[in-house]
Amino acid sequence: MFTFGVVENGQGFDPLVLLLLALALDAYIGDAQFIFRFVKHPVEVFGAIVGFLDRKLNREKRSEMVRAVRGVLTTTVVVVLALAAGSAVAWLSLNHPWGWIVELFLVTALLAGRSLYDHVGAVAGGLEQSLEEGRNAVLHIVGRDPTQLDAHGVARAAIESAAENLCDGVVAPVFWYLLFGFPGLLVYKAVNTMDSMIGHRSARYRAFGLTAARLDDILNLIPARLTGLFFVFAAVFVPTAHPGKALKTMLRDASKHRSMNAGWPEAAMAGALALALAGPIRYAGQVVDNAWIGDGTAKATVTDIRRALYLYAVTALINAMWVCSIAVIRFNL
Of 144-158, 257-271, 282-296, the range with the lowest mean pLDDT is 282-296
pTM: 0.92
Model pLDDT, residue 6? 55
Whether the CB-CB separation of 298 and 275 falls below 8 Å is answered with: yes
Domain count across the chain: 1
Question: What's the mean pLDDT in 231-237?
Answer: 97
Model pLDDT, residue 10? 47
Confidence of residue 1 (pLDDT cuts 50, 70, 90): low
Of 9-23, 161-175, 206-220, 268-282, the range with the lowest mean pLDDT is 9-23
Position 143 pLDDT exceeds 90:
no
Q: Note down the domain range covering 191.
A: 2-331
Nearest-10 Cα torsion for 220, 237, 157, 41: -50
Q: Is 34 exposed, middle or buried (0-12, 13-18, 19+ CB in 10 A)?
A: exposed
From the list 285, 293, 234, the residue with the least C-alpha distance to 262 is 293
Nearest-10 Cα torsion for 155, 158, 159, 164: 160
Model confidence pLDDT, tens digit, residues 236-286: 999 989 999 999 999 999 999 888 999 999 999 999 999 999 888 766 556
Model confidence pLDDT, tens digit, residues 211-230: 999 999 999 999 999 999 99
